[in-house]
Amino acid sequence: MSKPESQEWILEEENELRIEVDFDTKVKLRLITGTAEVFGTELAQNIDYEFTGRKLAIFTWHGCKLVMYGKCSVEYIANETPMVSYLNMHLALEQRRILATQNNGQGPRVLIVGPNDVGKTSLSKMLLSYALRQNRHPIYVDLDCSEGSITMPGCLTATPLTEMIDVEEGFGSSATSAPTAGSAVMPLAYYYGFPSPKDNSKLYGLLLSRLAQSVSRRLEEDDAARKSGIVIDTNGLIDSTGYEIIANCIKAFSVDVIIVLGHERLYSDMTRLHQKSGVAVIKLAKSGGVVERDSSFRRQTQNHKIREYFYGTTKNELAPYSTMINYHDVEILRVGEGSLAPSSALPIGEDRKVSETHVVKVDPSEHILLHSVLAVSNADKMKSEEEILETNLAGFIYVSEVHEARKKMTVLSPCPGRIPKKYWWLGSLQWAED
Ligand code: ADP
């Protein structure tokens, strides 16, 4: 086999190499001399890093030489980046951590807001990586249900980080059944099941409060995490619903720093609405390298993530466990059935939102289940609607086959030998195994 073509890149100090790699391509990158980092995580010299289906920047503070094998769809060096302001932001947060250590207080609770595709997740990674590089153990809270940096899309999660975030895998998708990249502790995930907080804002609000309670309990017990603080990544909603979510979030997580990325009006509104209550509101510029992701790229990223959840990555392969389940061994649940009914169809006086957190049992059938990815609740028995909604997740399963006549289904699970728990959430996640 012929060797993939190689290209050498020399980067001056504070420059970055921006690359986009398609999903059907593999690109290898090696740092030859100098220092470089990907979203805050340092590269080791003379090690090959492999990327597929990624858009990213390799940034250097002091200059470096890189070699790349394979073909990117986009590749260029940029010498204008907002990295110095991001580093200064980290240094200001670190001051708060030092103070927290001296006073036995709390580290910064940072909320990152802005529209879609301004670099919120990338900035979260950088601030978390810089904190980790200073031996801090921050908690990453991901409220972006459309993406699912930590587990699958449709979840709200919190992950205590103790190890560096992986250059190739990011936060990874090793999910709720196992510790994830960057963490030796299992992430905490709650199932929302919709792509936008707007789809069921009542349920979103409920889960956000539940997650915040779990995070504050964790902060009470974990001294290092309390002093290191939390970084909260949000989804890009900045209309009235978005503002309501931001306000809820500030209250629930006792946010004391809001970073507004790349949006003047949002910055001015956040200053007006929240600065008087003692929250620091800071504006940071969007990096020119941030790439808008179209729906096809997002869909491919989602498929890639689901595949990784069950089969792992080239570096960390997993063999999923395939098992046959009787329909009657599980209860398949869905949230908010009926919320689509027009208000006029509801009984007089009944609040339309009542149905938004209604839990409905779904009759299993091939039509509904085949190729679905379901979230497995940690609940052992059917409690009240609220309790089951607020129970965190054990993991996910994929329905690969349905044997309608025998009332059975074959499911894939990443945990060999473990019988999945009884209550499974059905959302809109579908995946056709390739
Ligand atoms: P948001 O969270 O605001 O939606 P992301 O941080 O996910 O935005 O960034 C959008 C896309 O741009 C991601 O694929 C990310 O990896 C990419 N990206 C971010 N910063 C850069 C950069 N400096 N160079 C190249 N790609 C970048």
* CATH for the stretch 319-346+354-430: 2.40.30.330
Q: Which two tokens stand for residue 412?
A: 């894939």
Hunting for tokens 């990011």 — which residue is that? 170
Give pLDDT, residue 1: 52
121 annotated among ligand-binding-site residues: yes
Give pLDDT, residue 346: 46
Q: What is the 3-state secondary structure (H, E, C) of the chain?
A: CCCCCEEEEEECCCEEEEEEECCCCCEEEEEEEECCEECCEECCECCEEEECCEEEEEEECCCEEEEEECCCCEEEEECCCCHHHHHHHHHHHHHHHHHHHHHCCCCCEEEEECCCCCCHHHHHHHHHHHHHHCCCCCEEEECCCCCCCCCCCCEEEEEECCCCCECCCECCCCCCCCCCCCCCCCCEEEECCCCCHHHHHHHHHHHHHHHHHHHHHHHHHCHHHHHHCEEEECCCCCCHHHHHHHHHHHHHCCCCEEEEECCHHHHHHHHHHHHHHCCEEEEECCCCCCCCCCHHHHHHHHHHHHHHHHHECCCCECCCEEEEEEHHHCEEEEECCCCCCCHHHCCCCCCHHHHHHCEEEECCCHHHHCCEEEEEECCCCCCCHHHHHCCCEEEEEEEEEEEHHHCEEEEEECCCCCCCCCEEEEEEEECCCC
> What is the C-alpha to C-alpha distance for residues 117 and 37, in angstroms, rounded to an integer?
21
Q: Residues 270, 281: contact at Cβ < 8 Å?
A: yes
Q: Phi and psi at residue 355, in whole multiples of 5°?
A: -75, -10
Cα 31 to ligand 1 centroid, rounded to whole Å: 21
CATH 3.40.50.300 domain extents, the chain: 83-284
* 120 pocket-lining for ligand 1 (C-beta < 6 Å): yes
* 85 pocket-lining for ligand 1 (C-beta < 6 Å): no
* 56 pocket-lining for ligand 1 (C-beta < 6 Å): yes
* 125 pocket-lining for ligand 1 (C-beta < 6 Å): no
Cα 58 to ligand 1 centroid, rounded to whole Å: 12
Cα 57 to ligand 1 centroid, rounded to whole Å: 9
> What is the C-alpha to C-alpha distance for residues 412 and 105, in angstroms, rounded to an integer?
45
Q: Which atom of ligand 1 is nearest to the CA of 115?
A: 3
Q: Which two tokens stand for residue 181?
A: 């990249």
Check whether domain 6-81 has CATH 2.60.120.1030, yes or no: yes
List of residues 6+ apart from 239 with CB closer than 8 A: none
Predicted TM-score (pTM) of this structure: 0.91
Q: Which atom of ligand 1 is nearest to the CA of 125?
A: 6
What residue's CA is closest to ligand 1, atom 23? 289
Give pLDDT, residue 355: 67
* 119 pocket-lining for ligand 1 (C-beta < 6 Å): yes
CATH 2.40.30.330 domain extents, the chain: 319-346+354-430
Cα 119 to ligand 1 centroid, rounded to whole Å: 5
Cα 410 to ligand 1 centroid, rounded to whole Å: 37
120 annotated among ligand-binding-site residues: yes
Q: Residues 233, 149: contact at Cβ < 8 Å?
A: yes
| Digitized pLDDT (tens) for each residue of the chain, 434 residues in all | 556 689 999 999 999 999 999 999 999 999 999 999 999 999 999 999 999 999 999 999 999 999 999 999 999 999 999 999 999 999 999 999 999 999 999 999 999 999 999 999 999 999 999 999 999 999 999 999 887 777 788 899 999 999 899 898 887 643 334 444 454 456 899 999 888 899 889 999 999 999 999 999 999 999 999 999 999 999 999 999 999 999 999 999 999 999 999 999 999 999 999 988 899 999 999 999 999 888 888 888 888 888 888 888 777 788 888 999 999 999 999 887 554 444 444 444 455 445 678 888 899 999 999 999 999 999 988 778 888 888 999 889 999 999 999 999 999 988 766 566 889 999 877 887 76
Pick one of 3.40.50.720, 3.50.50.60, 3.40.50.300, 3.30.460.20 as the CATH number of 83-284.
3.40.50.300
Angle between helical axes of 201-221 and 240-252 (0-180°, round to 10): 20
Q: Phi and psi at residue 262, in whole multiples of 5°?
A: 60, 40
Give pLDDT, residue 3: 60
118 annotated among ligand-binding-site residues: yes
* 179 pocket-lining for ligand 1 (C-beta < 6 Å): no
What residue's CA is closest to ligand 1, atom 18? 290
114 annotated among ligand-binding-site residues: no
Which of 86, 290, 294 best tests ligand 1's pocket when mutated (most atoms within 8 Å of CB)? 290
Q: Which atom of ligand 1 is nearest to the CA of 122?
A: 6
CATH 2.60.120.1030 domain extents, the chain: 6-81
Which of 84, 261, 291 best tests ligand 1's pocket when mutated (most atoms within 8 Å of CB)? 291
* Burial readout 168-207 (b: 16 or more C-beta within 10 A, e: otherwise): bbbbbbbbbbebbbbbebbbbbbbbbbbbbebbbbbbbbb
Which of 19, 22, 122, 302 best tests ligand 1's pocket when mutated (most atoms within 8 Å of CB)? 122
The two most distant CA atoms of the chain are separated, in Å, by 73
Cα 262 to ligand 1 centroid, rounded to whole Å: 13
Q: Is the ipTM of this complex over 0.90?
A: yes
Cα 85–chain centre separation: 24
Query: What single letter denotes the amino acid at residue 208?
Result: L
